[in-house]
Amino acid sequence: MNFDFHIQHHIGRRIDKWHHYFEIYDKHFQRFQDEDIRVLEIGVDHGGSLQVWKKYFGHNVKIVGLDINPACAEYAEDQIEIVIGNQADTALLKSLGEFDIVIDDGSHRLQDQEASFEALWPATRGVYLIEDCHTRYPALRFNGPNTPVVFEHPWVVVVERAMRIIRGRPSRELRPDEAAL
């Protein structure tokens, strides 16, 4: 089911999302539904979106919510862990481990978005989405051999790991870097 369905049928904590984001979420997140994944949402607010992500992705998802407000700790529940900290604390971000999806709905300040991306992108296996880029998109730097795919939507930037699909048997012996794909 799509994100809009889950929002319309949500009973729980308050959610504050722009409606035009729902199509963007489905476009980039749908393939992760019912998979064994880890999701990080920076910016917990009232905790409602964490509950919707839990329903949207299914019973195999593990969600981490990061917020600077200590009161958000009360939003922890089954499948949802809350970490109290600042999204500009890159050492903290790097200590959180790997994620399949990162959603940055935190401070909305460019310098925080850029610092968070730089700390978390190397440990992001799938999609990194930055919300509320109302004034301009953050400058994102990429390190490493694989260039990601970047999508810019109104007020949202999405970065995805490039997916390579290989079928059949190789026509030659694979190099070590190719065999790991």
Helix residue ranges per DSSP H, 10-86: 21-29, 48-57
pLDDT by residue (tens digit) across 42-58?
999 888 899 999 999 99
Q: What's the pLDDT at 54?
A: 94
Read off the pTM: 0.81
Q: What's the pLDDT at 166?
A: 59
Q: What is the mean pLDDT of each run of 10 residues along the chain (181 residues)?
A: 57 66 89 96 92 94 98 96 97 98 94 95 94 78 68 81 66 70 49
Catalytic residue among 6, 10, 59, 108: 108
Q: Is 108 annotated in the active site? A: yes
Q: What's the pLDDT at 109?
A: 92
Domains of the chain (ranges; CATH) run 3-162 (3.40.50.150)
